[in-house]
Amino acid sequence: MVKQELENLIRDKNATVGVIGLGYVGLPLIVEFALKGFRGIGFEVDQAKVDQLNAGTSYIPDVPPENVKKCVDAGKLSATTDFSCLGECDVIIVCVPTPLRKTKDPDMSFILSAGEQIKKYKRPGQLVILESTTYPGTTDEVLQPMLEEGGAELDKDFLLAFSPERVDPGNPQFQTHNIPKVVGGVSKDSTEAAAFLYDQIVNEVHPVSSARVAEACKLWENTFRAINIGMANEMARLCNALGIDTWEVVRAAATKPFGFMPFFPGPGIGGHCIPLDPHYLSWKARQHGFDSQFITLAENINSSMPKYVAGLVRDALNDAEKSVKGAKILILGVAYKKDIDDMRESPALSVIDLLRSRGADVFYHDPFVSEVTFDHAYTIGDGEPLRNQELTDDLVKGSDCVVICTAHSTVDYERLCANAKLIVDTRNALSEDHRNGSKAKIIRL
């Protein structure tokens, strides 16, 4: 019986765990398995990443390099671009990107590519788990038929499950081992085997009745955030129109001990999950004739925020009798959230392009990001690459406007306020003391 044999291997730590995709999700996961005594093989198409890992170094800030080195030196972790090694794995976990097409429909190409490799090198007795965020039905509609080609049978020859990733880059409080793991298989045996596997590395496992429930769970989590951030952004615009301090309002509302959860406005939403995942849910809804109005409305509000921020900059410059065209504008932070280097879907990139398209001379400071190329942004402007500028007093003094898009904790905001002429703060990075002691005009979201 596949399940029993596999659980015996897992219990004795004799199971080899393969992870396809060694990014923000896959690398922490495989290192966690290796630290717990399992042999881990990482599969990547990027040779540079493979070389770094095999040399015992880490390119993900949340994964300490000493942990990678420890696992590599112990012979528990290796990386390769050779997918034929999938045949050595008892467990294969897929952690590849799931972006959107330009039409905002799901791009399944990475999952399909991983599936083709698994199909090519599969052997009897393997457990395959998909962690990539996707629409309900992907695991059993897409991966299961691929694994069944050639006559293989579920539960007899292989097991298949879905377990959504819940990575929060840059969050030191919640990492792989202490984030509850939802697991849903396409069969009862698949659920139980996958849950038993994850139970070896995480504190809590929550099995559900099917892979589709687990897939929907992930989309619900991120759609919940997207919709509530959309409401926070709309409330911020309303409060600004009414002359009310947005941040004071949300702090006051958060004192209610029940029935309220604070969400905060910003220049837009970024990262690989929140801007994209609701589209997977709404796309699947359309296949069933369902119009997901909340999701559409939230996406419209959130995607309009960079334009709203650019409008705040324009209006503030006009009040100072300056035009956007020719203005020197310093963007503070281009990563999508503070204290990380991840620029995926960062709203700061849209703000930059909108300002450049209006003729502004835009430059940026971000201690985590050395360069922004036109590949990263939407290139509404001229698309020329930008390089990180050292945050000197002269740089700030020479700027007509400073726009805080990401509130990195490394920035000296008191010094910033002492030297800036005009600041547009989209993240509430400036405390009341900063604002009170500043000579700069400060516009807050």
- The whole-number average pLDDT for the span 232-256 is 96
What token pair was written down for 207?
């099995």
Report yes or no on 285 lying in a domain.
yes
Same domain, 440 and 360: yes
Whether pTM exceeds 0.85: yes
Nearest to 25 by CA among 85, 84, 110: 110
| CA angle at 353 for the pair 349 and 355, rounded to the nearest 5° | 120
**C-alpha distances in Å from residue 247, one per residue of 236, 257, 436, 445:** 8, 18, 16, 8
* Domain end position, chosen among 171, 192, 218: 218
The answer to the question of residue 415 being in a domain is yes
Q: Taking the CA of residue 363 as centre, how many other CA atoms within 13 Å lie in the half-sphere pointing to its CB?
A: 15
- Cβ distance 188 to 158 under 8 Å? no
CATH of the domain at 433: 3.40.50.720
Geometric angle at alpha carbon 358, from 370 and 349, rounded to 5°? 30
162 contact partners, CB below 8 Å, separation of at least 6: 129, 130, 131, 138, 139, 183, 184, 185, 211, 214, 215
Q: Is 273 a catalytic residue?
A: yes
Residue 283 located in a structural domain? yes
Answer yes or no: are the C-beta atoms of 226 and 275 closer than 8 Å. Answer: yes
Q: How far apart are CA 233 and CA 213, in angstroms?
A: 30
Looking at per-residue confidence, does 377 or 293 come out higher?
293
Between CA 275 and CA 303 the distance in angstroms is 9
Q: Does residue 255 fall inside a structural domain?
A: no
Question: How does residue 437 score in pLDDT terms, banded at 50, 70 and 90?
Answer: confident
Query: For 296-330, how does the pLDDT look when each residue is reduced to its tens digit (9 = 90+)?
Result: 999 999 999 999 999 999 999 999 999 999 999 99
Residue 88 has what pLDDT?
A: 97
How large is the angle between the packed helices 293-319 and 347-357, nearest 10 degrees?
A: 50
Task: Report the percent of the chain where pLDDT is more than 70.
Answer: 98
Query: Which residue reads 């590599």 in tokens?
Result: 72
Is residue 143 helix, strand or coil?
Answer: helix
156 lies in the same domain as 284: no
Do 291 and 186 reside in the same domain of the chain? no
Residues 282 and 204 in one domain: no
Burial string for 183-194 (b: 16+ CB within 10 Å, else e) reads bbbbbebbbbbb
Tokens of 422: 């005009």
Nearest Cα residue to 83 out of 96, 100, 70: 96
In angstroms, the CA 91 to CA 252 distance is 49
Of 9, 16, 70, 21, nearest in space to 39 by CA: 16
> How many helices and strands, by DSSP H and E, does the chain display?
16, 15
pLDDT of residue 438: 83
Minimal CA–CA distance to 360: which of 406, 422, 275?
A: 422
CB distance 57 to 50 below 8 Å: no
Residue 234 lies in a domain: no
How far CA 114 is from CA of 91, 142, 268, in Å, comes to 14, 11, 32
Residues 87 and 200 in one domain: yes
Buried b (16+ CB within 10 A) or exposed e, 381-407: beeeebebeebeeebbeebbbbbbbbb
Helix locations, 243-346, DSSP H = 246-253, 277-287, 293-319
Pair of tokens at residue 75: 């012979």
Are 212 and 281 in a shared domain? no
pLDDT the model gives residue 71: 97
- Domain boundary residue among 171, 191, 218? 218
Q: Does residue 188 surpass a pLDDT of 70?
A: yes
Among 279, 303, 336, 313, which Cα is nearest to 230's?
303
1: tokens are: 């019986």
Indicate whether 269 belongs to any domain: no
* Catalytic residue (choose from 95, 273, 405, 417): 273
pLDDT in tens, 364-417: 999 999 999 866 554 444 567 899 999 999 999 999 999 999 999 999 999 999
The verdict on 184 and 299 lying in the same domain is: no
In this predicted structure, what is the pLDDT of residue 171? 87
Q: Among candidates 144, 139, 141, which has minimal Cα distance to 155?
A: 144
- Identify whether 252 is part of a domain: no
Instruction: Looking at the structure, tell me whether residues 156 and 298 fall in a common domain.
Output: no
Q: Evaluate if residue 43 carries a pLDDT over 70.
A: yes
Residues 72 and 195 in one domain: yes
pLDDT recorded at residue 65 = 96
297, 379: one domain: yes
Cα distance between the two ends of the chain = 59
Dihedral of CA atoms 350, 351, 354, 356 in degrees, nearest 10, equals: -110
Q: Do 117 and 196 fall within a single domain?
A: yes
More confident call, 133 vs 437: 133
Query: What is the extent of the structural domain holding 105?
Result: 2-218
- 435 falls within a domain: yes
Backbone φ and ψ of 267, nearest 5°: -80, 5
- Residue 426 is given by DSSP the state S
Query: Pick from 218, 245, 263: which residue ends a domain?
Result: 218
Residue 330's CB is within 10 A of a number of other CB atoms, namely 23
Q: What is the mean pLDDT of the chain?
A: 94
Q: Based on the domain organization, do 6 and 116 belong to the same domain?
A: yes
Query: Residue 162 forms beta bridges with which residues?
Result: 130, 184
Total structural domains within the chain: 2
Report pLDDT for 380: 47
Mean predicted confidence (pLDDT) in 36-59:
97
